[in-house]
A and B are shown apart, each in its own frame.
Chain A
Amino acid sequence: TQLLEQSPQFLSIQEGENLTVYCNSSSVFSSLQWYRQEPGEGPVLLVTVVTGGEVKKLKRLTFQFGDARKDSSLHITAAQPGDTGLYLCAGSRAGNMLTFGGGTRLMVKP
C-alpha cells in the first residue's frame, strides 16, 4: 500500500477547466513536494510546502498543505494543454528520503 495516496489516478479534461489533485496520508510529513513529469523525462520540482496550512501559488497552480501536515492539494485553474503530464506528490519526514505518491496522470485536451 502507498504511504501517500494520490487521487485521482487519471484525469482527462478540456482546456479551460479547473481541477484539483489530492495527496493524502495517515502520516505527518515535515515537508511535501509536488513534481511534474513529462514522458521520457525526470520529475521537475514545482513547489515545496513545509508549514501546516501553507498555501503557495505558482501562476495558475495553487498548492496547499493541510493543517496537520498529512495531506496536500494541487489546484489548477483554467488548465491548458501544456499542463498535461504526470503530477507526483512526495513527502519527507525529518530529513529522510522522499516517499512518492502513486501519481496523477493529467491530460488537457484543446
Chain B
Amino acid sequence: GAVVSQHPSWVICKSGTSVKIECRSLDFQATTMFWYRQFPKQSLMLMATSNEGSKATYEQGVEKDKFLINHASLTLSTLTVTSAHPEDSSFYICSAAKPGGLETQYFGPGTRLLVL
C-alpha cells in the first residue's frame, strides 16, 4: 500500500499566526513530496515540490517566505503558513511519490485551513 497522512485535518487560527501542516508517508519512503492548494470547486494547484534533504522548488507566484517547506526525512514534509491571513484560507493537500515513481503520487486527506 501507499498511505499518506496529514495533520491536522482542520485548523482555525487568528490572522497573523503561523500554522504548521505535517505530511507523512506511513508505509513507504518518499524522496519527493508535493504540496497543493485547492480552492472551493476548483482543481489542485501545485505550490511546491519538496525533496528530502534539499530546498523545495516553488511554483511561480508562490512566496517561499510565506509558505515554508521542510522535508527533513524520507517520511515527513511540513508546510508552515507564516503570518496567515484570511486569503490563505484554503484546502491544502500533500502527496508523496516513491523513489523513481514521480508519475504516481499518493495523496493525503488534506488539511482545511480557516484564518479568521
Cα A42 to Cα B41 with chains together (Å): 13
B44: min CB distance to chain A, Å: 5
Q: Is B54 an interface residue (CB 8 A)?
A: no
For B42, what are the chain A residues with a Cβ–Cβ distance below 8 Å?
102-103
Q: Is the interface of B mostly helix, strand, loop or mixed?
A: strand
4-60 of chain B: CB within 8 A of chain A: 4, 6, 34, 41-46, 49
B104 in contact with A48 (CB, 8 Å): yes
For B34, what are the chain A residues with a Cβ–Cβ distance below 8 Å?
97-98
Residue among A35, A40, A97, A101 with max Cβ neighbours from chain B (10 Å): A97
B93 in contact with A43 (CB, 8 Å): yes
Q: Is the interface of A mostly helix, strand, loop or mixed?
A: loop
B46 in contact with A40 (CB, 8 Å): no
Q: Is A63 an interface residue (CB 8 A)?
A: no
83-103 of chain A: CB within 8 A of chain B: 88, 92, 95-98, 100-103
Given A100-B43, A103-B42: A42 in contact with B93 (beta carbons within 8 A): yes
A-B Cβ contacts below 8 A, count:
53
Interface 0/1 of B88-111, CB less than 8 Å to A: 000101010000001111111110
Q: Is B85 an interface residue (CB 8 A)?
A: no
Given A97-B49, A100-B44: A41 in contact with B110 (beta carbons within 8 A): yes
A33 in contact with B107 (CB, 8 Å): no
Q: Is A64 an interface residue (CB 8 A)?
A: no
Binding site for A on B (CB under 8 A): 4, 6, 34, 41-46, 49, 91, 93, 95, 102-110, 112
Binding site for B on A (CB under 8 A): 30-31, 33, 35, 40-45, 48, 88, 92, 95-98, 100-103, 105
Q: 9 smallest A-B Cβ distances: which pairs?
A: A42-B107, A92-B103, A103-B43, A42-B109, A42-B110, A100-B44, A43-B107, A95-B102, A31-B103
